């Protein structure tokens, strides 16, 4: 008897119990999510979606898209009402709807974005004076460390223009086949690429600031967000952002790290430009010349 009790006790202690549960989540008010990064010489795109309660099943861009909104971009005496459009994301096998314009963005102009939805109006302004910065050299490293640990990465060297505050994100494009996966824990593989290839954009998750390196030769190292193989080729550019966009993406980066890493404290999501809505209306630019990198080894 004593032995039976002993065995039961030890087994019970060591057996923790984990199960999926349905919880009654805290009340959550859905908010519009407005994204628009204007880049001179390109057509404006406004991604307009909504946030949903955490356990809501809607989880694709199409399901979250806010239709029937009035989206206007104006500058001086000119204004344009953007129309709904969409593009198919071949890698994630999903449609990405947006509101698109026909008038190319001009440099050094202050634009106003007005979004009217469900009786509410959201406005913000941005000036397209962000300068492109060219990359001087691109290299590969098989080991560097960032907040997520040690990785293989792409090394971007450039000279920061002196006398102004700049913010940068890594921007890489390449053609990938169906064997390529995301490198997050889910290791997603595309089901839509089939035997061919598709173009993907790899945007860096952190925002690099020149706050302590104004005018200096600078280096940014970024882990690719998708798997790669030896001899894969990619084109690397620098995305420059205005202060508002940089603050928004930096905040999101902290928020995301906190939600992924149990050792990091939760970050409460802030509203930046829009009262009652999430998102950003900012201006960006991109290096004119993209430098090629050939990966010398498979990623691990």
Partner 1 sequence: MKHYTFTLLLALIISQAHAQNHTISGTLRDATSGEALIGATVFSPTLNAGTTANTYGFYSLTGAGKDTILLIVNYLGFEPQVKKVLFRQNIKLDLALEPSARALNEVVISSEKPSDENVQRPQMGVLDISVRLIRELPAILGETDVLKVIQLLPGVQAGNEGTTGFFVRGGNADQNLVQLDEATVYNPNHLFGLVSTFNARALNNVTLVKGGFPANYGGRLSSILDISMKEGNDKQFVTSGGIGLVSSNLTVEGPLKKEVGSFIVSGRRTYLDILAKPFLKQNAGYNFYDLNAKVNWRFSQNDRVYLSFFQGRDAANYTDAAGLDFGIGFGNRTATLRWNHIFGQKLFLNTSIFQNSYFQNYFSVKAKSYTQFYTGIEDVAVKVEFQYFPNPKHRILFGGQVAHHDFTATGKATSVPKDTSIQKININKIAPRKTDEAAIYANDEWLLNDHLALQLGIRAPAYRTEDTTYLRFEPRASLRVSLPGNASLKASYTQMNQFLHLVSGSTAALPTDLWVPSSRVTQPQRSTQYALGYFRNFRENRIEASVEAYYKTMQNQVLFGEGTQLLEQSNFDDVLVFGQGKSYGVEFFVKKNFGKLNGWVSYTLSKTTQQFDAVNLGREFPFKYDRRHNLAIVGAYHLSPKWTLAADFVFYSGSAFTLPGGRFMLATGGSLYSGHYWDYTEYNNYRLKSYHRLDVAATRRTTMHWFKKKVASELVFSIYNLYSRRNQYFVYTDLNILTNQPVAKQVSLLPIIPGFSWNFKF
Segment 267 to 296, residues that bind partner 1, using CB under 8 A = 267-270, 278, 280
Q: Which two tokens stand for residue 67?
A: 């239709």
Q: Is 53 in the site for partner 1 (CB under 8 A)?
A: yes
| Options 99, 111, 205, 208; binder of partner 1; rule CB under 8 A | 205
| Options 42, 60, 90, 112; binder of partner 1; rule CB under 8 A | 60
Q: Is 263 in the site for partner 1 (CB under 8 A)?
A: yes
For partner 1, which stretch binds (CB under 8 A), given 123-131, 149-157, 211-219, 229-237?
Answer: 149-157
d(CA 54, CA 259): 13
Instruction: Of 75, 73, 66, 78, give the one whose Cα is nearest residue 113.
Output: 73
| Size of the residue set binding partner 1 (CB under 8 A) | 92
Residues 221-250 binding partner 1 (CB under 8 A) are 223, 225-226, 249
Q: Is 67 in the site for partner 1 (CB under 8 A)?
A: no
Residues 162-201 binding partner 1 (CB under 8 A) are 169, 182-186, 188, 200-201
Instruction: Of 64, 81, 68, give the one whose Cα is nearest residue 118.
Output: 68
Q: Is 5 in the site for partner 1 (CB under 8 A)?
A: yes
Which C-beta is closer to partner 1: that of 25 or that of 194? 25
Which C-beta is closer to partner 1: that of 59 or that of 211? 59
Min. distance of Cβ 73 from partner 1 in angstroms? 16
Q: Is 140 in the site for partner 1 (CB under 8 A)?
A: no
Residues 72-131 binding partner 1 (CB under 8 A) are 92, 96, 98
User: Which one-letter DSSP state was computed for residue 270?
Assistant: P
| Options 212, 265, 288, 289; binder of partner 1; rule CB under 8 A | 265
Min. distance of Cβ 94 from partner 1 in angstroms? 9
Q: What is the three-class DSSP state of 49? A: strand
Cα–Cα distances (Å) from 189 to 92, 176, 227, 228, 298, in that order, read 8, 11, 10, 13, 17
Cα–Cα distances (Å) from 268 to 114, 251, 258, 263, 271, in that order, read 26, 9, 10, 16, 10
Q: Is 38 in the site for partner 1 (CB under 8 A)?
A: no
| Options 101, 159, 258, 287; binder of partner 1; rule CB under 8 A | 258
Which C-beta is closer to partner 1: that of 18 or that of 77? 18
Q: Is 211 in the site for partner 1 (CB under 8 A)?
A: no
Q: 209-233 burial by CB neighbour count: b if 16+ within 10 A, else e? A: bbeeeeeeebebbbbbbbbbeeebe
Q: 46-82 burial by CB neighbour count: b if 16+ within 10 A, else e? A: bbbbbbbeeeeeeeebeebbbeebebbbbbeeeeeeb
Q: Is 20 in the site for partner 1 (CB under 8 A)?
A: yes
Q: Which residues pair with 88 in a beta bridge?
A: 95
Min. distance of Cβ 162 from partner 1 in angstroms? 28
Q: Is 252 in the site for partner 1 (CB under 8 A)?
A: yes
Contact 211, 154 (CB under 8 A): no
Q: Is 160 in the site for partner 1 (CB under 8 A)?
A: no
Min. distance of Cβ 196 from partner 1 in angstroms? 21
Instruction: Of 192, 187, 178, give the one whose Cα is nearest residue 90.
Output: 192
Given the structure tokens 């954009």, which residue do they identify? 201
């Amino acid at each position: 008897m004593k032995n039976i009790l002993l065995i039961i006790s030890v087994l019970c202690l060591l057996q923790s119990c984990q199960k999926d549960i349905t919880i009654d989540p805290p009340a959550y008010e859905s908010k519009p999510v407005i994204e628009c990064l204007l880049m001179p010489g390109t057509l404006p795109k406004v991604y307009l979606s909504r946030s949903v309660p955490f356990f809501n099943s809607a989880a694709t861009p199409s399901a979250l898209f806010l239709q029937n909104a009035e989206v206007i971009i104006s500058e001086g005496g000119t204004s344009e009402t953007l129309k709904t459009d969409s593009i198919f994301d071949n890698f994630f096998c999903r449609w990405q709807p947006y509101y698109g314009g026909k008038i190319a963005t001009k440099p050094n102009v202050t634009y106003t974005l007005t979004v009217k939805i469900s009786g509410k109006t959201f406005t913000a302004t941005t000036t397209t004076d962000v300068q492109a910065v060219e990359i001087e050299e691109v290299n590969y490293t098989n080991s560097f460390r960032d907040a997520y640990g040690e990785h293989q990465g792409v090394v971007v060297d450039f000279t920061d223009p002196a006398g102004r505050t700049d913010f940068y994100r890594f921007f890489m494009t390449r053609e990938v086949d169906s064997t390529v996966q995301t490198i997050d824990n889910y290791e997603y593989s595309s089901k839509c690429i089939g035997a061919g290839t598709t173009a993907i954009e790899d945007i860096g998750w952190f925002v690099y600031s020149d706050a302590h390196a104004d005018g200096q030769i600078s280096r940014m190292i970024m882990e690719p967000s998708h798997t790669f193989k030896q001899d894969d080729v990619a084109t690397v550019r620098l995305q420059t952002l205005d202060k508002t966009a940089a603050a928004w993406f930096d905040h999101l980066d902290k928020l995301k790290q906190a939600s992924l890493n149990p050792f990091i404290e939760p970050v409460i999501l802030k509203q930046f430009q829009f009262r009652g809505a999430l998102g950003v209306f900012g201006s960006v630019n991109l290096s004119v010349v993209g430098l090629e990198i050939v990966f010398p080894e498979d990623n691990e």
